[in-house]
Structure 1
Amino acid sequence: MNWVGNNLDLIGELTLVHLRQSIIALIAGFVLSVPLGWVAWRYRLVRSGVITITGLLYTIPSLALLILVPVVTGWYSIVSETNLIVALAIYAVAILVRAVADGLDSVDAGVRQASTAIGYGSFRRFWAVEFPLAGPVVLAGLRVASASTIALATVGILVGIQNIGYLFTNGLQRRIIPEVFAGVVAVVVLALVIDLLLVIAGRLLMPWTRGTKTVSRQANRTLVKA
């Protein structure tokens, strides 16, 4: 394990790069998934198509997607961090669109009627009532997407994009097992830390989810807060 102690700076630097790549991709995927998930929930005729098409994105092999992205976007250099982030965002969308649609589906119809009755327009009702109440389901999807994104980001090293994946390929090529082990631990720890932060953020932003509460209590608190 001397290798780990002698290369903590390298591990730390690669972890920060990996974190930045993953966070940007996750945020981009989330931003794209909200309107797509809303369309899938709002328009039943296209729901199956939207969810199926976005879900199928996850079946594209990661290496193939990394090669296809620059061709489609026009950024022809495969060795580009931007292409990796775009690919990771696509995988995040594949997970999060269904989560957003299912979350909105879980909101009680009576809550929508009550918010409309007190004067909420569709835009305000979505952001003040529907989306917050869909939050627990969306958060669950976000947690899955974050773990997936952090794990998949390591594939970027196969096309020359530096991150924790470097520890895997370099360690295997040079037969330095502690280096590979350090990469595995770094990915797991990073995924656990991000997951913990998401849970804490969920508790802070959705205090009504603490303990066992009925949908009506959730709705009342959301309406009062809004």
Structure 2
Amino acid sequence: MPEPRIPVIIALDFPVSAQALDLARQLDPAVCRVKVGKELFTRGGPAVVEELTGLGFEVFLDLKYHDIPATVAGACRAAADLGVWMVNVHALGGRRMVEAAAEALAGARRPPLLTAVTVLTSMEGEDLREIGLAGTPRENVLRLGHLALESGADGLVCSAREVTDLRCAFGVEPCLVTPGIRPADATGDDQRRVVTPAEARRAGADHLVVGRPVTGAADPAAALRALEAEVGGL
């Protein structure tokens, strides 16, 4: 299994750039990466990514591209030009879309990692049935994971509850990124399929996405140190 130098990714899920940057300045880019999602990017645009990279952070641009292949390829090239470390697409976009994304990134000077979202961590079996997907979350994760990796993705974004199954199915090579991570004493908020950091790492997750337990803490730097201690020194 790949052993990432920095396993923790802090989700900067703020409505304005100033808040995200203020929080980032309290953290050490030597011990965590940061994630920029839809709301922050929509409000702050490429500038917020550039400011974060200027602070020394490697950025996971979490926009879950899902469109026709040419559009997704263009978006991935733009993300690479921004200098992000990782970008993601939604595996439900299908083989041609993922292939187009992988091909676009392969041509970049510094290609970001390409990961594919399988099943959102907020979704359970009933949610999948409601949108017409047969099978359990686990079955859908494995099916979509196989499609994405076969189509050129470097890894998958998945619930840590599926990591063991994915490792058994696909081995040590894929990079597995797990949102829905909550320290043992934290609440689950709106994510349902959640696990603790230690559980996720033992299962084989490469990267742990953590948001409110750190960003909502009175002392974010201390919360990050506690998170590291919980998994035995990441």
Q: TM-score, normalised by structure 1?
A: 0.26
Q: From the two aligned structures, give the one with the greater strand fraction.
A: 2
Q: Which is bigger in relative contact order (C-alpha 8 A, separation at least 6)?
A: 1
Q: TM-score, normalised by structure 2?
A: 0.25
